[in-house]
Amino acid sequence: MRCNVSTSQRFAVGTLMLLWPVMTAVAQQRDWRVHSRGLLHQTVYNTGELGRAYSAGGTVQEGIPSMEWPPRSSMILDRTNYPGQHNSFGSGIWIAGTRPLIGRRYAFCGAVSDASGNPVSVAGVYSTPLALERIENYPVLSNGNLNPAFNPDEAEEKIVSRWSTPVGVTVTRTSRAWSYPGYDSFIIYEYEFTNTTSDTISDFFVTFANTFAPSMFGYQRNHGQWSEAAFRGQPPSGLGDHFARFDLKRWMTYSHERDGLPDRVFFDVWSSAGHRGGLNSPQAAGMLVLHYDYEHLSRRHQTRQVWISNSDSAGMWDQHNKAKQPFLLRYENGNLPAEAKTISWMDPSLQRKTGIFTGATDSTRFVTQYEPQAWPYWKGRTKGSMNLSWWQPVFRGYGFYPYLLPPGGTIRFSVAEVVGYGPGVASDRKYKDLGGNVRAGVDAGVYFNPVPSWYDTLQYAHLGSKPYIGSRYLQTHPLPWYVTPGVVSIRDVADRAIQMYTGRPLIKYDTLQYEPTTAPARGVYNTIPIPVPAPAIRVENTRAAANRIVWGPQVESFSSPRLRAPLKHYEVLRAPHPLGPWSVIDSVKPRDPRYFRDSVYAVIDMYSNLGEFVSYAVVSVDSLGGRSGMTNIVRHETQAPSAQTLGKVYVVPNPLIVTSSLSGSDPGGEITDRIQFMGLPKRCTIRIFSYTGQLINTIEHNRDTYGNPWYQITRNNQVLASGVYFFVVEDEAGVRSHGKFVVIH
């Protein structure tokens, strides 16, 4: 939807820099840190952005995850590089406020594009970066020793970012993550908005501008691209599979796929026991509000907001003459240009963009479709969109307004990003959320629909051309390694985020209403039992090309008043890819004489193959069966030391028979394409020629390894054809070795 913006509004945007308060020399360049302690990896910027710069298409840059769950999920498959299971197009914070003499100002710190959907620079336009710090609070240091500064009442990983805005408000964001199983799939963000001017800022608006799209891998595999922008209001043929919903009880907005099957070709392989590593991750991704500031909300006479109607104005005020929240629940797809669209959402001189639950019709819907007891609570609050499939699924403007912010005043909000293995579990189908239909549901007045799961299918009207939602595969297939039993769906994860933040006992908010204003303004973080931490590990090469996994005994001395249970044993795990399948090499008891020598444990992987990439982890298991997080995953290329001199060089496998079956990938390419040159000195040049003598590629080898993998990519970036090929290896002294190999497709 496009809207016209007044000349004064365009002037306000165009003169942001001219009216920006003069900054001191402490301003920084745009920078980021990554949350990587838990299983949800997210990039945090010192400009207000989260994930990547907003774009309704494109890709995700290596090393800059955008709500990636499970982590390390990039893979090369069918010779295509899939960046992984990222669940966000890019998010951030939008704020607006009015100052005397200066007028209305806006700051879109993330999730903003131009009219064509291209990302808009945030730094120097809407925010000035001030500070960014990542604070590590894991019990074990990188060298294996226990962390003497470990604080059990804080997150294991904390990132503090701070930026100023032309609104006259400085924002401080403190985000927290944990590795505890069951508490490792959410990140909690605490925001402070401080008025740094001498003016009182009125009609202050805070919008959490989030995008959710589970998942990038699924879109690319099924639809050929990870791009919602190309659809522009009309879903292409065969889609309508992405549903956006709102869980009223948890104040949670989220997205999920229709059936959670991102890939049809390899589903049976990826869903087999022990092999469900991420590439078949049927996610549900979203955010919930943990706390919003009530004290600083303006009273009715302190705002200039133009209301939609008399009933809207009359129904939205509570007993203290403050606006009921949330004020904005805006769902959009595609482009987010500030001047042409999003400014109007936070402009008090225009009618508000989302209506409220009010009147007899909405009351009837609550009684007949949802829960009668929920009506008094949600009456007068924003109801958002109901046609939440591929029409408007991606962007969520989750806003709070109007606030009165005096000079030096600060308001606080807390939210959580959450990802789960689907929207619900088997027993959740008796509950309903807002949404869950396609556009036909609006005409029929169906606002609330059952919560689906991957345990069984649901059928109800208004699901479009596919009259089902959910799937049945969890009836016969196990959960993957990255899902903690009992904490499966996004609803389960959200409940534990609430528990972690509030310090209250765990509650399932299926029939109970969560109330953010009763939660503390700052998180408690000191009531969750702490598992025995995983040790720091390293992986060493041996002359026999059998990898050695090494760690120290320090975690055996870990203690805390909240320690769940003492250590019982370690499990040593290996996998061909960080996503799995994970297998147990051995179980190791404390001071096990088989492996403990010279004050360290050392386990040899007898299944190592020269030139193969393998992932390893060591997990601590306590006496109650509880496990540590997999915080020490190491990806290692199996190698022996390089040859002392150049002698016979050979290729394995030879012949290479390329098949179309799934076998995984490593950082260089697909395993089925990999050729290994073996017997190399530390420095040499490898030249590959066709049968007719044409140069195919040149590889400069410069590392202390016996082998070097090559993935059949020519110097023209083409895949090698079937045939006979020759190679010549030349060392620094001019000594040569040669041979041939065969490729069969």
SS3 127: strand
CATH architecture of 650-744: Sandwich (2.60)
Q: Evaluate whether 537-637 and 650-744 have a shared fold.
A: yes
pTM for the model stands at 0.92
Contact 398, 260 (CB under 8 A): no
Contact 106, 346 (CB under 8 A): yes
Question: How far is residue 312's CA from residue 53's CA, in Å, rounded to a whole number?
Answer: 36
SS3 539: strand
Q: Specify the pLDDT at position 257.
A: 85
Q: Specify the pLDDT at position 591.
A: 97
The residue to which tokens 């590593």 are assigned: 277
Q: Specify the pLDDT at position 278.
A: 46
Q: Specify the pLDDT at position 13.
A: 45
Give the type of residue at 636. Answer: H
Nearest to 216 by CA among 68, 421, 63: 68
Contact 150, 157 (CB under 8 A): no
Question: How far is residue 98's CA from residue 346's CA, in Å, rounded to a whole number?
Answer: 11
Instruction: Return phi, psi of residue 689, to 5°.
Output: -125, 150
Low-confidence ranges of the chain (pLDDT < 50): 1-25, 228-238, 276, 278, 391
Instruction: Return phi, psi of residue 411, to 5°.
Output: -115, 150
* pLDDT tens per residue across span 11-44: 444 444 344 444 444 678 999 999 999 999 999 9
Pairing, β 656-657 against β 736-744 = parallel
Neighbours of 14 (CB within 10 A): 10
CATH node for 537-637: 2.60.40.10
Q: Specify the pLDDT at position 368.
A: 93
The single-letter DSSP state of residue 428 is G
Cβ partners under 8 Å of residue 310, min gap 6: none
Residue-range domain boundaries for the chain: 7-498, 537-637, 650-744
Question: How far is residue 703's CA from residue 708's CA, in Å, rounded to a whole number?
Answer: 9
Question: How far is residue 745's CA from residue 271's CA, in Å, rounded to a whole number?
Answer: 27
Cβ partners under 8 Å of residue 454, min gap 6: 259, 260, 282, 421, 422, 470, 471, 472, 473, 474
Q: Specify the pLDDT at position 17.
A: 39
Question: How far is residue 96's CA from residue 204's CA, in Å, rounded to a whole number?
Answer: 6
For 377, how many CA atoms within 13 A lie in the half-sphere containing its CB?
16
Contact 497, 182 (CB under 8 A): no
CA distances to 244, 549, 566, 573, 583 from 586, in Å = 44, 11, 20, 8, 9
Question: How far is residue 710's CA from residue 705's CA, in Å, rounded to a whole number?
Answer: 14
Q: Specify the pLDDT at position 230.
A: 40
SS3 359: helix
